[in-house]
Chains A and B, each alone.
Chain A
Amino acid sequence: MTATASRGRSLSSPRRLGAGRIGRVLGLAAVALLVVVAALAVGARPIPPGTVLDALVQPDRAVSDHLVVLDLRLPRMLAGILVGASLGVSGVLMQGITRNPLADPGLLGVNAGASLAVVLAIWVGGVTGPGELVWFAFAGAGGVAALVYALGSLGRGAATPVRLALAGAALTALLLALVSAVLLVSQETLQVYRFWVVGSLAGTERASLLPILPAFAAGLVLALWAGTALNAVALGDDTARALGVRLGLARAGTLLAVTLLCGAAVAVAGPISFVGLVVPHLARGVVGPDQRLGVLAGAVLGPVVLLGADVLGRVILPPGEVQVGIMTGLVGGPAFVWVVRHLRIMQP
């Protein structure tokens, strides 16, 4: 409500525009806090927010509610924050560097690439430790990200949304077919893989988050650095070059950031689509077109979307839970169609 009202007033004075943006950022922070509390309180066993606070401040291992919060829901929430932020920031970067409102690490096959690399490492190389497998996830994610971009920028002109979306769909189909081929042929691979990738946030342990923290931090710093260049890239390649941006370096940096973030996200939660598609559009609505602010907003909105989907999945069909990847698909598919309908691009 307030956002709409302030937007109406802001047209007359630029200073009010700043005030409206601050209001929206505060609103976002409030929503983020709400989702985080809900992620700790909501579930098959509802726990009142007061007890949740108690569990965090004065943990008492004799109280079963405290155990649920600390051992089950807190790791799951932390995983949701890391994965959501990774996917959200990756989406902002990919949509920025390709100037393509349909880019998403899941839809473009980056997550599937990470999965295939992991499966091959288990099958051919006999690698089993999660700490080592992460590196293969990085390699797979980076390779596919580069491949999709190369395919989309064949021929004249920039990589159009249609080209990238179709190239991504074809690559995803191929990579996932290869993954299931390996899993069908080798039972031992399936045994390792299914414990490594569950495709959901449930069952995350705090210890498994530690190894990927450095990758996540490096990816985020790199993303903030790339945001500056992306602001110039948004004006077109020629303008960006005239403004002194080294395009090759900017692309490489973005690619590396996406690789680190997506590899880390897949390592924790398996391939999850559509968070990276939806978040950049929401971020633009909150902070406007500035890409650096977009990266920051993406790091907040990603967890909001992912945790929101996770919480919804816990309560939507009791007594069971719906995996968060399914929830993002159910919400993200229609969002994809909505973006397509509002594309203002001219196609030949």
Chain B
Amino acid sequence: MASAGLALALVALMGASLCLGDYSLNLGQVWQAVFGDGDGAFVVTTLRAPRILTGAFAGACFGLSGAMLQSLARNPLASPDLLGFTQGAGLGAVATIVLVGSGDWVTAGAVGGGLLAAALVGLLSWRGGFRIWRVVLVGIGVGFTFWAGIDLLMTRGDIFEAAAATQWLTGSLNSRLWSHVAVSGIGLAVLGPVALGLGRSLDHLGLGEDTAAGLGVRVGAVRIATAITAVLLAAVAVSACGPVAFVALVAGPLGRRIAGGPGPALGPAALIGAALLVAADLSGRTVVAPMQLPAGLFTALLGAPYLLWLLAIQIRKGTL
């Protein structure tokens, strides 16, 4: 029920985003542009549709990634941006842009960087077991280091490649192409079902390790598969639209609240992630028009206060 409502809201939001902007269209004109050859064909099919679809697919990837990590760690602070995975994917992507050039390899670079960051954080925070506070702190440290690496590459690269990387680094959906839609769409199509398939096992894991093992969950295997899938999802999203902040952090808890039940609520989290990114992009295009603010700016303005609130709650409860 909740998912159907969310999906409807997402579709409405995407429709509104197709219509609104510097060159406003009504729904009829959009319909004509897509299926006929109306005046707005260029605006709709070349400018707006790719960025909206990229936003929706990448946002869903971020949402899934965050919700999976949060339910794995059983802590709402575990999201790819706080754990340094997003920054790792960013470094991998920028290294590829600067060294090889922007093209198909950027996604591979992002995936490699994300996996490297995840392996580093896992290795460095293991001390006979994982404690969530240590994982988060190590993640913050690794994230800082990778971000300094990004800054270093930016000062070294060719000015045109550096300019391309700068725009991408702000976490923006400006000038997305159909190739970005393809990358994020294929990533979501491959990894999304895997994530949803792991959802039931994660559900059981939430009841405790012993109970989950009793229910036939292979605990170790599920954990590793979840972590890797979450990293890959974040990396795909980063390669499509840059390291957009806080979407992954916010989507999971919101999805859980809307779904109402226990468990990770992966589907709602994906839909909310998509809606958040599309809405942030729409605000970026319309709030101070004709300027185009990056979507990452709006997600940061929304997500950082949420993180502060989350901290205050956890401190009050004495869990941190």
Q: Which residues of A contact B (CB under 8 A)?
A: 102, 107, 151, 154-156, 160-163, 165-167, 169-171, 173-174, 176-178, 180-181, 184-185, 273-274, 317, 320, 322-323, 325-326, 329-330, 332-334, 336-337, 340-341, 343, 347-348
- Which one of B155, B318, B320 lies within 8 Å of A326 (CB-CB)? B155
Q: A340 contacts B138, CB within 8 Å? A: yes
Can you pick out 18 interface pairs between chain A and chain B where the beta carbons lie within 8 Å of each other? A151-B311, A154-B316, A160-B320, A162-B320, A166-B77, A166-B136, A167-B308, A167-B311, A170-B305, A173-B246, A173-B303, A174-B304, A329-B145, A333-B143, A337-B124, A337-B141, A337-B145, A348-B318
Q: B155 contacts A323, CB within 8 Å? A: yes
Shortest C-beta distance, A80 to chain B (Å), equals 19
Of B36-44, B98-106, B126-134, B206-214, which stretch is located at the interface? Answer: B126-134
Instruction: With a 10 A CB-CB cut-off, give which of B77, B147, B300 has the most chain A CB atoms.
Output: B300
Shortest C-beta distance, A339 to chain B (Å), equals 8
Question: In whole angstroms, how far apart are the Cα atoms of A320 and B155 in the complex?
Answer: 9
Shortest C-beta distance, B108 to chain A (Å), equals 24
Question: In whole angstroms, how far apart are the Cα atoms of A154 and B318 in the complex?
Answer: 10
Query: Ordered nearest first, which 6 A-B pairs have the shortest CB separation?
Result: A333-B145, A329-B148, A174-B304, A177-B300, A336-B141, A337-B141
Interface residues in B, total, Cβ within 8 A:
47
Question: In whole angstroms, how far apart are the Cα atoms of A170 and B301 in the complex?
Answer: 10
Shortest C-beta distance, A303 to chain B (Å), equals 21
Q: B131 contacts A185, CB within 8 Å? A: no
Question: In whole angstroms, how far apart are the Cα atoms of A334 and B145 in the complex?
Answer: 7
Q: Does B6 contact A (CB under 8 A)?
A: no
What sequence of 0s and 1s flags, for each residue 71-94 of chain B, a beta carbon within 8 Å of any chain A beta carbon?
Answer: 000000100001000000000000
A326 touching B151 in the complex, CB below 8 Å, given contacts A154-B312, A337-B138: yes
What sequence of 0s and 1s flags, for each residue 293-320 of chain B, a beta carbon within 8 Å of any chain A beta carbon?
Answer: 1100100110111011001100110111
Question: Which residues from chain A contact B301 at a C-beta distance below 8 Å?
Answer: 174, 177-178, 181
Q: A180-B297, A329-B151, A343-B137 are in contact. List 9 more A-B contacts (CB 8 A).
A: A155-B315, A166-B77, A166-B307, A173-B246, A173-B307, A174-B305, A176-B300, A322-B152, A336-B140
A330 touching B149 in the complex, CB below 8 Å, given contacts A156-B318, A174-B305, A341-B127: yes
Question: Which residues from chain A contact B308 at a C-beta distance below 8 Å?
Answer: 151, 167, 170-171, 174
Shortest C-beta distance, B143 to chain A (Å), equals 8
Shortest C-beta distance, A317 to chain B (Å), equals 6
Question: Which residues from chain B contact A165 at a C-beta distance below 8 Å?
Answer: 137, 140
**Nearest residue, chain B, Cβ from A173:** B304
Question: In whole angstroms, how far apart are the Cα atoms of A239 and B27 in the complex?
Answer: 71
- Which one of B142, B149, B152, B311 lies within 8 Å of A337 (CB-CB)? B142
Question: Which residues from chain A contact B246 at a C-beta distance below 8 Å?
Answer: 173
Q: B138 contacts A341, CB within 8 Å? A: yes
Question: In whole angstroms, how far apart are the Cα atoms of A192 and B136 in the complex?
Answer: 37
Q: Does B221 contact A (CB under 8 A)?
A: no
Question: In whole angstroms, how far apart are the Cα atoms of A67 and B239 in the complex?
Answer: 47
Question: Which residues from chain A contact B155 at a C-beta distance below 8 Å?
Answer: 320, 322-323, 326
Q: B148 contacts A170, CB within 8 Å? A: no
Instruction: With a 10 A CB-CB cut-off, give which of A184, A273, A274 has the most chain B CB atoms.
Output: A184
Question: In whole angstroms, how far apart are the Cα atoms of A184 and B295 in the complex?
Answer: 13
Q: A181 contacts B293, CB within 8 Å? A: yes
Q: A330 contacts B145, CB within 8 Å? A: yes
Shortest C-beta distance, B232 to chain A (Å), equals 24
A317 touching B141 in the complex, CB below 8 Å, given contacts A162-B320, A184-B293: no
Question: In whole angstroms, how far apart are the Cα atoms of A322 and B155 in the complex?
Answer: 7
Q: B318 contacts A155, CB within 8 Å? A: yes
- Which one of B151, B294, B311 lies within 8 Å of A170 (CB-CB)? B311
Question: Which residues from chain B contact A347 at a C-beta distance below 8 Å?
Answer: 131, 133, 320
- Which one of B82, B144, B146, B245 lies within 8 Å of A332 (CB-CB)? B144
Question: Which residues from chain A contact B320 at a C-beta distance below 8 Å?
Answer: 160, 162-163, 166, 347-348
